[in-house]
Chain A
Amino acid sequence: MTVTGVQGGEGARAARLSLRGVLGRWLGVVPFLLFAAAFMVLPAATLLVGSFQDARGGFTLVNLVHVLRPNILRSYLLTIEVSLVTAVGGGIFGFLLAWAVTLGGMPKAIRGFLVTFSGVASNFAGVPLAFAFIATLGRVGLVTTLLKSLFGINLYDSGFNLYSFWGLSFTYLYFQLPLMVLIITPALDGMKREWREASENLGARASQYWRHVALPILLPSLLSSVILLFGNAFGAYATAYALTGGFINLVPIQIGAQIRGDVLHDPNLGYALALGMVIVMTLTILGYAALQRRASRFSRA
């Protein structure tokens, strides 16, 4: 106190004032930040700490080594495969749908309907979605039985199984596709009519326009959307759980099993599993953000 007084009361008071000023200015966002810290950041951080601890709390790297166990590595691979397939598949088909209602010359009403429907369908995930696909393509599902009685096609004899990789991916598409429609439509709206007209006037065919003009402009948006879809599928638990009853080797299912102590009760291994997920998701979002910044170059121009 006295020391600062000797050095100059003015400066100290200014510092104190600005400290209060800073507090005052940040006051309105403090409750949110505290809440986010208490119920999101710190819980996630305890997993981070826990993944480097053994059962008695000592430091160890053994959990990270255990993540490399064959069946856990397999579950990461399977989760990545499902996410990749549904992100690329949903990305391509969602793009085509969004293209149809933006640049494809379809009536405005169809666009409104598609966007509204996508808003609903992208939230129609989890247990009800699994039920819908079981009723449709399950062993006694309506489409399965119809195909058998009308065309003599037995889906399940020809290798299809709703409760395994392709069935799960096909189900995930139901929320992946609409999400793609929602996030790529604005980018397609940003495609200026003049660009197409200019290339047509210069004698470009439609394919040339797409290869040399449209796709290079859209590429960052497309990639970032696909990355977002990847993350969306990667973290999904409820749909897979309800569809397979927990009998599919995905990372979220493994983590769920660790939480419930169904398998070998080893929470620290669970922490490491969760840590791996957060790392993958963080990379995903960083990639998304970087590409979005590139994509916004054209919309600003």
Chain B
Amino acid sequence: MSWAMTAGPATSRRKAWSALWLGLGALYFFLPLLATFLFSLRARKGVLSFVAYAHVFSDPEFVRTFSFSLERSLATIVAGLALMIPTAIWVNLRLPRARPVIEVFALMPFVIPPIVLVFGLIRMYSRPPLALVTSPALLVAGYVVLSFPYIFRAVDAGLRAIDLRVLTEAAQSLGARWETTLFHVVLPNIRFSLLSAAFLTFSIVVGELTLAVMLAWPAFGPYMALVGRDLAYEPAALAVISFLLTWGSLVVLQLVSRGARGQGTTVGGVH
């Protein structure tokens, strides 16, 4: 009786507050994006133009550093997945007892900031017999460490969501060898988790600054920092480009995985 009367005003008051907070949030989040975009268009005095973007794209250093970082991020994704998939499968299938240990190691990069990590890597690998500091492999190894938490969580969540034990036992009882089970049964079933791990890793690595600058690699992050030191409008253009890159790759990911979930729900609806 009384709740029917109070629910109305209480709900509308809740909605009003929600709208207020969301409005403030939208202001905080979109104003800088809008301002950056408009700022990037003002390279030519008096008119709005895409001159700053033209400058960025025609700079050979942009192409060189971006493709360098693109290659490193692909290498990181491949190496990270190659390392994490077997580990996560093992933890889910053979050795659940190891889960706490693996989780601690996989989440440790949250405790060791990149600046500390790279400092340790430099100290450890700058002297023979382990003089790896000048090798691009060390940069990728550092990136794999940075992406540990993201890759492990994504792959592990994917494996937990499927019935891994039943799937693998079914495949094996049908005579599949382990490669067949892995590549034709397990991995296709967690492909969206793998994609999400890949995109997250990409968005972290492609503009990464700390490791690249300290190990002195001509990567995209240091290039952007350099441009920011010397120029005014091009950095804004770079910020817009990298936001679109991050946004674009994550939106693609959302769309792809929503398509998959959509299939699932239609099947569920039919039943």
Main secondary structure of the interface of B (DSSP, over half): helix
Cα A238 to Cα B228 with chains together (Å): 13
Q: Do A46 and B120 touch (CB < 8 A)?
A: yes
Q: Do B28 and A46 touch (CB < 8 A)?
A: no
If A40-B117, A43-B124 touch, whether A104 touches B112 (CB-CB below 8 Å) is no
Residues of B33-73 contacting chain A, CB below 8 A: 33, 35-36, 38-40
Residues of A45-94 contacting chain B, CB below 8 A: 45-47, 50, 93
Cα A259 to Cα B123 with chains together (Å): 10
Q: CB-CB contacts of A180-199 with B at 8 A, as 1s and 0s?
A: 00000000000000000100
Cα A282 to Cα B3 with chains together (Å): 48
- Interface assignment of A12: CB less than 8 Å from any CB of chain B: no
Chain B residues near A41 (CB, 8 Å)?
A: 105, 108
- Interface assignment of A174: CB less than 8 Å from any CB of chain B: yes
- Interface assignment of A142: CB less than 8 Å from any CB of chain B: yes
- Interface assignment of B200: CB less than 8 Å from any CB of chain A: yes
If A25-B94, A242-B225 touch, whether A270 touches B119 (CB-CB below 8 Å) is yes
If A43-B121, A47-B120, A267-B123 touch, whether A123 touches B200 (CB-CB below 8 Å) is yes
If A119-B250, A135-B239, A141-B35 touch, whether A26 touches B108 (CB-CB below 8 Å) is no
- Interface assignment of B141: CB less than 8 Å from any CB of chain A: yes
Chain B residues near A93 (CB, 8 Å)?
A: 21, 24-25
- Interface assignment of A160: CB less than 8 Å from any CB of chain B: no
Chain B residues near A131 (CB, 8 Å)?
A: 36, 224, 228, 235-236, 238-239
Residues of A162-178 contacting chain B, CB below 8 A: 173-174, 177
User: Which of A148-156, A214-222, A273-281, A293-301 is the interface stretch?
Assistant: A273-281
- A31, A100, A259: which contacts B118 (Cβ < 8 A)? A259
**What's the minimum C-beta distance from B29 to chain A, rounded to whole angstroms?**
7
- Interface assignment of A213: CB less than 8 Å from any CB of chain B: no
Chain B residues near A50 (CB, 8 Å)?
A: 123
Cα A259 to Cα B214 with chains together (Å): 7
Q: Do A127 and B14 touch (CB < 8 A)?
A: no
Chain B residues near A245 (CB, 8 Å)?
A: 229
Q: Do A135 and B236 touch (CB < 8 A)?
A: yes
- B6, B112, B238: which contacts A44 (Cβ < 8 A)? B112
Q: Do B86 and A117 touch (CB < 8 A)?
A: no
- Interface assignment of B134: CB less than 8 Å from any CB of chain A: no
- Interface assignment of B181: CB less than 8 Å from any CB of chain A: no
Chain A residues near B35 (CB, 8 Å)?
A: 132, 135-136, 141-143
If A130-B228, A135-B40, A200-B3 touch, whether A277 touches B113 (CB-CB below 8 Å) is yes
Query: What class of interface size applies to chain B in its complex with A?
Result: 35 or more
**What's the minimum C-beta distance from B24 to chain A, rounded to whole angstroms?**
8
- Interface assignment of B168: CB less than 8 Å from any CB of chain A: no
Cα A173 to Cα B25 with chains together (Å): 11
If A132-B239, A135-B239, A201-B3 touch, whether A255 touches B14 (CB-CB below 8 Å) is no
Q: CB-CB contacts of B78-93 with A at 8 A, as 1s and 0s?
A: 0000011011011100
Q: Do A128 and B86 touch (CB < 8 A)?
A: no
Chain B residue nearest to A242 in the complex (CB) = B225
Q: Do B90 and A29 touch (CB < 8 A)?
A: yes
If A35-B83, A110-B22 touch, whether A116 touches B254 (CB-CB below 8 Å) is yes
- Interface assignment of A8: CB less than 8 Å from any CB of chain B: no
Residues of B224-251 contacting chain A, CB below 8 A: 224-225, 228-229, 232, 235-236, 238-239, 242-243, 246-247, 250-251
Q: Do A274 and B120 touch (CB < 8 A)?
A: yes
Q: Do A242 and B228 touch (CB < 8 A)?
A: yes
- B15, B32, B95, B105: which contacts A174 (Cβ < 8 A)? B32
Q: Do B214 and A29 touch (CB < 8 A)?
A: no
Q: Do A255 and B116 touch (CB < 8 A)?
A: yes
What are 26 A-B pairs with beta-carbon distances under 8 A? A26-B98, A28-B90, A28-B94, A32-B86, A39-B145, A44-B112, A46-B124, A97-B25, A104-B21, A106-B19, A114-B25, A123-B246, A131-B235, A132-B32, A132-B36, A136-B31, A177-B28, A237-B115, A241-B209, A241-B213, A242-B225, A252-B115, A256-B214, A259-B214, A267-B123, A284-B111
Residues of A within 8 A of B (CB): 25-29, 31-33, 35-36, 38-47, 50, 93, 96-97, 99-101, 103-106, 110, 114, 116-117, 119-121, 123-124, 126-137, 140-143, 173-174, 177, 197, 200-201, 206, 228, 231, 234-238, 241-242, 245, 252, 255-256, 258-260, 267, 270-271, 274, 277-278, 281-282, 284-285
